Every structure is written in structure tokens, then in C-alpha cells.
């Protein structure tokens, strides 16, 4: 698992910020690109209420599954553990997933229960791991 460190800075005057930043002659690391993110949670919302996140991201023809643990504050920084996996199975075009990523979820999980309920949608995900699996074996499991 890696560690993500985040800081958010409010920029009052974007034009002034660009001018000041330009004085440092910054280089572009990558071109701008589209990302389509699908956030997942249990029906009881335990990930969100625990400030955790489970996300499937579609970007530049690749698919990633990301888990972010609860944040801790260190001064102005927000630090959290993060596990990010490239999904290597062939997947259909994400546009065909009806905006919910259900096909992708069914590809990964053993059991999926999805239902529309008053006030939103609920998805219950079940992944069965081999009996007696150690934490190290579970971490090495390819999704």
C-alpha cells in the first residue's frame, strides 16, 4: 500500500496565480485527459461514513481499482493509505456499463446484489477468498 499526501490551497485570483507560477518556468508532466470515476460503497454506507473510498477509474483505455483508507491530518496535509490496482482483464468499453460499472464489478466479485431503493442505489459486493488465506496471499491476488 502506498501513502497519498494531499494539500488543498484556495486560489483567490487565478490570473495572478498563473502569472506568479509562470515565473518558475514549470514544465508539463502530462497532457490533460478525461477520467471517468465510479465510486462504490456498501448499502449501509460504511466506507463513506468511515471516510474511506472505493473507486473504479476509466482513463486512457485503462481501468484502475482504488481503495483509500481514512485520512489523518498532519498540519495542512491530509494523509491516507491508498491501494491502486490496474485491472488487467479485458473489459468492455466503459460507456456500455450504464454508468454504474456493474459489468466490471461482476467480473471481479463473486456475488453482486444491486437494487434501486428510495433515495438512491444499493450495491452489495461479495468476494470469496480461499480458506486459510494469509494477508500476504490476499494482497498478491490479482483482481
pLDDT, greater one: 92 or 112:
112
Give the Cα separation of 26 and 97 in Å (integer).
Answer: 38
**Hey, is 124 helix, strand or coil?**
strand
* The pLDDT value given to residue 94: 46
79-106 in b/e burial notation, b at 16+ Cβ within 10 A?
A: bbeeeeeebeeebeebeebeeebeebbe
Q: What is the DSSP string of 56-88?
A: EEEETTEEEEEEE---EEETTEEEEEEEEEE--
Q: How confident is the prediction for the chain on average, in pLDDT?
A: 77
pLDDT in tens, 26-70: 888 888 878 888 888 888 888 888 999 998 888 888 888 899 999
Give the Cα separation of 50 and 70 in Å (integer).
Answer: 6
* The pLDDT value given to residue 109: 74
* The pLDDT value given to residue 96: 47
* The pLDDT value given to residue 90: 54
Compute the average pLDDT of residues 1-23: 89
pLDDT in tens, 100-130: 566 666 677 777 666 656 666 666 777 777 7
Give the Cα separation of 143 and 139 in Å (integer).
Answer: 10
Residue with cell 428510495: 118
Give the Cα separation of 51 and 110 in Å (integer).
Answer: 25
* The pLDDT value given to residue 143: 42
Amino acid at each position: 500500500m502506498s501513502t497519498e499526501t494531499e494539500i488543498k490551497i484556495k486560489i483567490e485570483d487565478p490570473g495572478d496565480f498563473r502569472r506568479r507560477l509562470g515565473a518558475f518556468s514549470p514544465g508539463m508532466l502530462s497532457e490533460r485527459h478525461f477520467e471517468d470515476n465510479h465510486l462504490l460503497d456498501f448499502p449501509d454506507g460504511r466506507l463513506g461514513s468511515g471516510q474511506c473510498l472505493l473507486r473504479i477509474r476509466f482513463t486512457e483505455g485503462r481501468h484502475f481499482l482504488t481503495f483509500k483508507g481514512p485520512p489523518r491530518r498532519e498540519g495542512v496535509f491530509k494523509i491516507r493509505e491508498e491501494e491502486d490496482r490496474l485491472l488487467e482483464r479485458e473489459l468492455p468499453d466503459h460507456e456500455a456499463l450504464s454508468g454504474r460499472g456493474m459489468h466490471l464489478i461482476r467480473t471481479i466479485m463473486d456475488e453482486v446484489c444491486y437494487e434501486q431503493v428510495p433515495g438512491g442505489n444499493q450495491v452489495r459486493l461479495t468476494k470469496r477468498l480461499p480458506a486459510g488465506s494469509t494477508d500476504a496471499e490476499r494482497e498478491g491476488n490479482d483482481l
